[in-house]
Each structure stands twice: as C-alpha cells, then as structure tokens.
C-alpha cells in the first residue's frame, strides 16, 4: 500500500483506490493493480509527445489530432456522434456530462487534482516532469500585446489553440485512451481468473476512464 494507515501522507493522499483495496484485503479478496507501471506510463508519455509533435507538422496529422481530442472528449462525457450530430447516449449506463457537473464533484476536483499531481511527483518524477513541461510550454506563450492589430490577434489565438490541441492530444492519448485499453485488459484477465460465471469482479476506476473502459470491454465480446 502506498500510504498505509497512520502514515503522515495518508490523510493528504487518501483515495478511493486505496480505500477499496483495504476493504478487499480485509475481506480476504485478491487485489490486482490493473493500471500501467510507472515505467510504462513514462514511456507512453514520451512516445505520445513525439507522435503528437510529428502530427502537428502536417495537415493530415493536424486533422488526426483534432479527431483524437474530439472523439475522446465525447467518450469521456458520454456523448455519441451520429454523422454531424452529437447527442446523449440515451438508455445506456455510462458516465455523462451531467455527472461531471455534479456540485460535489466540482468542489472536490481541485483537491483531487492536487493529490494526483503530488502522488505522481512522488512515485513517478519523470512522468511528472513531462506533464509539468507540457503545461510550462503553454504558459510560456506571451500574452497578446495591447493595441495589436487584427492579424497579430488572430496569430496569437491560433498559436494558443495549436499548443492546447498538442497538449490535449498527448494527455488524452497517454493518460486516457491507452490506459483505458490496459485497464480493460486487466479486468478481462481478472474475470477469466475468477473461476467462471456467478463470480463478481469489482473494478475501481477514475470517472474519466469509465466510458472508455466500458467501450473496450464491450468491443471485446462483440
């Protein structure tokens, strides 16, 4: 356990994954860490940054980055694209946009983000460096000068959007889409090892992973 009960970091870095693991262990149930290792995540971030950078240098690559970010955004918020229309996934059990707008979730988000970043810094300093570097690059872009002409303003906003797209492409690929596949595969393996029908496997996931993992699991049985 990363932060055992009674340790100084426990109250600051407590989380639902840790709480669920302790309950399972107390009940004598096996606990499986289904996520990537720190080394794998660091490697994925580097590869995602390289791929995103190369894609942003061509029109087709730029379009691909937009498709990745747009598609992942729809998946996270439980929206469905049908042709040129975007709608809610009516009748499906999934995390939706309304869930992310829950007041309690919104109030707890700053604390959750701080805990996530701090725990990442402790366990994966290299991965934390990559994330910090991505945000530092975006913040390094100078503000639009006062009194600038229309062309300068358009160029500045275009540069901001370009960097934002590059950032989201990296984060959505390495931290969400690829990890969704890893988590789904881990759940499949746990189900196969659970000794057949009638047995239950409890998966504790972050909200942003729920729809992607569900989609991966359902695609695997179709």
Strands (E), the chain: 79-82, 85-88
207-221 and 59-76 helices, crossing angle to 10°: 100
User: Does residue 208 or residue 120 have the better pLDDT?
Assistant: 208
Q: In the prediction, which pLDDT does 1 show?
A: 47
State the pLDDT confidence band at 8, using cuts at 50, 70 and 90: confident
- Would you say residue 201 has pLDDT above 80? yes
State the pLDDT confidence band at 187, using cuts at 50, 70 and 90: very high
State the pLDDT confidence band at 48, using cuts at 50, 70 and 90: very high
38-55 and 125-139 helices, crossing angle to 10°: 30
pLDDT in tens, 154-175: 887 888 889 889 989 998 998 8
Q: In the prediction, which pLDDT does 62 show?
A: 93
How buried is 35 (Cβ within 10 angstroms: 0-12 exposed, 13-18 middle, 19+ buried)? middle
pLDDT in tens, 94-135: 788 788 888 988 888 888 877 777 777 777 777 677 777 767
Q: What are phi and psi of 86, to 5 degrees?
A: -120, 130
Q: In the prediction, which pLDDT does 222 show?
A: 52
User: Does residue 128 or residue 61 have the better pLDDT?
Assistant: 61
**Residue whose entry in the numeric block shows the structure tokens 């639902």:** 16
Spatial contact of 65 and 56, defined as CB atoms under 8 Å apart: yes
Chain mean pLDDT for the chain: 81
**Half-sphere CA count of 175, side-chain side, radius 13 A:** 19
CB proximity list for 187: less than 8 A, separation 6 or greater: 34, 201, 203, 213, 217
Q: In the prediction, which pLDDT does 2 show?
A: 62
């Amino acid at each position: 356990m990363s932060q055992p009960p009674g340790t100084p970091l426990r109250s600051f870095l407590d989380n639902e994954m840790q709480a669920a693991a302790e309950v399972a262990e107390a009940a004598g149930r096996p606990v499986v860490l289904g996520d990537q290792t720190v080394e794998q995540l660091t490697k994925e971030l580097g590869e995602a940054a390289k791929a995103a950078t190369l894609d942003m240098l061509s029109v087709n690559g730029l379009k691909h980055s937009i498709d990745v970010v747009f598609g992942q955004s729809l998946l996270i918020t439980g929206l469905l694209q049908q042709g040129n229309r975007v709608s809610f996934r009516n009748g499906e059990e999934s995390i939706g946009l309304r869930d992310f707008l829950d007041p309690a979730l919104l109030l707890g988000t700053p604390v959750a983000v701080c805990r996530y970043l701090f725990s990442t810094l402790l366990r994966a300093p290299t991965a934390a460096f990559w994330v910090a570097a991505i945000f530092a690059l975006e913040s390094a872009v100078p503000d639009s000068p006062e009194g600038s002409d229309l062309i300068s303003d358009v160029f500045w906003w275009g540069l901001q959007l370009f960097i934002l797209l590059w950032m989201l492409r990296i984060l959505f690929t390495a931290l969400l889409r690829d990890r969704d596949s890893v988590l789904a595969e881990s759940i499949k393996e746990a189900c196969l090892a659970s000794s057949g029908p009638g047995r239950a496997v409890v998966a504790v996931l972050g909200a942003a992973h729920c729809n992607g993992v569900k989609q991966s699991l359902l695609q695997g049985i179709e």
